[in-house]
Amino acid sequence: MNLNDFYRQMLAARQRAAELYHRASKSFLQEKELLVLGFEELYATLSKLEAAFEELRQLNWEVAIAHEVMQMERQRYRNLFEFIPDAYLVTDGKGTIQEANSAAAKLLGVPQNFLVGKPLVVFVCWQERRAFFTKLLGLHLHEQRQEEWELRLCPRKGDPIDATLTVSFVRNREGELNTLNWLVRPMSERKQASSGLALLTDAMEYGSESIIVTDANLDEPGPQMVFVNSACTKMTGYTCQEMIGKTPRMMQGPKTERSVLDRLRRNLSQGQFFHGELTNYRKDDTEYNMELFCAPIHNERGDITHFFSIQRQIT
């Protein structure tokens, strides 16, 4: 029986009780006081039941809305996960793959759905598996939240690949490794990175999205901007000269959400990707809402040197 059928039956029972109460109060007013009292109690109980049903229906509606929002957020996360151009995997503390993007599936030569549930070690060349296990076990003892390894991978199809694995991890309340995030890049891509730097700079400068690159200093007065593109100056009203060397905090104001800023700092200090919404202010003090994507940039040793962010205005 669904909620609507139950509601209709409840209303019918209440109406029938009201009729019985009315008839009993007329026919047996003097001699059947006990019966009338019973009908009164039954009627009151049905009224309470109807009110409880309305609360239940409201709660059911709220749960349905929350479920829909959760599904939308999950889809947004999946879209961002697939947007990452490098191979990216999420494993549990033992190295069993829980999620993998399409770039990882392509690199390892296995469809995405078949990667889930497989140990990451099966894609490490057998000569280096002992070293991989040793490093994996060592993560449980390390205080730092990120490491970079160089390993030789064996895709399911194709030749072995010399790759750099950047692993960041999250611990649970008991201090145990809960989730491992793996960024996998073939070594050859690093050699090509220098030649593509100028092209990347041009792409950022003339791109339609607002882009800011800062240094990695999160302490007061905040990270300093080392690059802003023309889309950013157009959005904020500041010139490039007014922004370089300053902190993005210059665009914050009374309605900038403190809780979002705290989450941004926490994610970046742990070397994690951030996505959220903020209220910022232009040079003329007019406010605007924006969607913010921010990620750390690492050097060859795996140290965070800069933060890269994209601001997308919400209309």
Per-residue pLDDT of the chain (315 residues), as tens digits, is 555 666 666 676 667 666 666 665 555 444 456 566 666 766 777 777 777 777 777 877 777 777 766 666 555 555 555 666 788 888 888 889 988 888 888 889 898 888 889 999 999 998 899 888 888 888 777 666 678 888 889 998 778 888 888 888 766 666 666 788 888 888 765 554 544 445 555 556 656 788 888 998 888 888 999 888 888 999 999 998 899 889 999 999 999 999 999 999 998 888 888 898 999 999 999 999 999 898 888 876 778 888 888 888 887
Helices 33-83 and 3-27, packing angle to 10 deg: 170
Q: What is the per-residue pLDDT for 29?
A: 47
Q: What is the per-residue pLDDT for 145?
A: 65
Q: What is the per-residue pLDDT for 251?
A: 92
Q: Do 301 and 148 contact (CB within 8 A), yes or no?
A: yes
- In the chain, where do the E strands start and end? 87-91, 97-100, 146-153, 161-171, 177-186, 210-215, 225-228, 274-281, 287-298, 304-313
Q: Do 207 and 200 contact (CB within 8 A), yes or no?
A: no
Q: What is the per-residue pLDDT for 140?
A: 72
Beta bridge partners of 169: 180
Q: What is the per-residue pLDDT for 113?
A: 85
Beta bridge partners of 215: 306
Q: How many CA atoms lie within 13 A of 15 on its CB side?
A: 6
